[in-house]
Structure 1
Amino acid sequence: MTWKSLMVLTNSTNPIVITLSGANGPAFNQRGDLLLLTNYHSEPVRVGDIVVFQVKGRDIPIIHRVIRLHEKSDGYIKFLTKHDVNQVDDRGLYAEGQLWLENKDIIGKVKGIFSNLNYRFYQLLNSSILLYKITFHFTSDDLFMNNYQHMKYINPHQIISLNSSSELYIDKFLSSFNIDSSLDRLQSIYLQNIQANTLSVLLNNCIHLPRLISLDIKSYHQLIDLCQTYLLIFNLPVLKYLKITSLEFKSSATLPFAMENQQLSMIEHLVIEHGVTFNDLAAIFT
């Protein structure tokens, strides 16, 4: 609620940003500086203002100073920026063919700097005592990129759950975000509208998650391979809760019954919301 209130008060989608390096200029010479941004229409950007902007093709926002304005006959204003210590302007940083920044590129202009609590706050964000439950429901490219950029700077050791249900962006997210042993505290994964190929890759990677105890998968528009999916899931070493929901399943083969020397699954709660044959069901419970 506090973050949303700040967004309303500052008219910025990112009212507070953290500098990730000490090379942004003399005003921001410490990694972890907190910058308060505003983006009021009544306070247009002027020459000398320090702005945070992000252009197409650049993952990380840039904090530089406005050095020139270009005003068109209809009153529309564009901006040119430069690093304080650079000899040349930022046109080499803009998108290909872009000569000026537009309003849509500006996240906000810097209105305040928190330099004393910045380092402690940065340390807190990366402290092992602070754990994150990541929930993403993407509805647009801009929202996806905005949230993904923030998530990239979270220590994976601090993530305890992942929740995503965006039909358009879930596969893009999982292809960009590494599911590996660095997520050593991840306990729960909930995914909705995942594609079959992405699910197979995910389940193969989940074998490296030492604390994954809950897995909830929903797929309404993809034909998932029943045999392959369950065989991969049964390899997860500590999984205790499993729920699979799908309108349709295909089966490349019949589920094999467990062998005597095969490691038993740790699953205690199993919820099946899809069609299944009696033989497959019997194999699942062996």
Structure 2
Amino acid sequence: MNIFENKKELIAHVDALKCEKKTLGFLPTMGALHQGHASLIRKGLDENDVVVVSIFVNPTQFDNQEDLVKYPRTLDSDVELLETISEEKVIVYAPSVDDIYGNNVISTSFSYDGLEHEMEGRFRDGHFDGVGTVVKRLFEIVRPDKAYFGEKDFQQLMIIKKLVEKYNIPVKVVGCKIYRAKDGLAMSSRNLRLKPEYRKAAPFVYKTLKAAKDKFGTKSADKLTEWVTKQFAGHDLLTLEYFIIANISTLKTVKRKTNQKSYRAFIAVYADDIRLIDNIALN
């Protein structure tokens, strides 16, 4: 398996692939890879000749520095997982902070036409500037034909699509369905940090989302939000940070439902000190 830690060497390799008319898929990750990532890579391989997987814990998208320090770094096991998918068609880019940022480890300020101010943007100051900064930089280095993002981070997916549109970046952004464990918990690298009792409790998040979807046809957005809030108020281990029903195009919180628009429910929950996010299409 080709593993590059230096962007110059990766760029040279990508140049050679492009000379051979190879199509290139790309999956940017922060490592701690799991089967959710594997499903995205397999989709990328179905649609491209080669897939580049970047493994880089990006410091500029963490508003909580303790979270940055605790974020799992598991490059060896990540490579082992990737080798089970394809040793020849998967390329790893595992750069240092210096290789991405040089001596200037700061975010660029982006406007995503308001998408950045909703939901996660309200609770994680500067997060989407950090995401946009690193993804734009990675797109410039890798120059993929297609890039793959999971719908678990639906707001991030929409923001990356807006980034590509506004900056005329020649890549097609592909959204992929949420990959879940058998008990419904959305796969996330943070799940590795859940204590056993919290891991056992965590599927309650998706269970509540599914119940909210069932009630969406008969309850108003406000009443449904009240109902979800009550479910978590009575839970011993899980603490609700927010539950929001939003228009999928603008991500703005819904005041009144209409039949002509599509909606999605978004949730953020703390399981001890681990923050879990999830979402579900409502109609």
Q: Which of the two has higher C-alpha Rg?
A: 1
Instruction: Provide TM-score, normalisation by structure 2.
Output: 0.25
Larger proportion of helix: 2
Structure showing greater relative contact order (alpha-carbon pairs closer than 8 Å, 6 or more residues apart): 2
Larger proportion of strand: 1
Instruction: Provide TM-score, normalisation by structure 1.
Output: 0.25
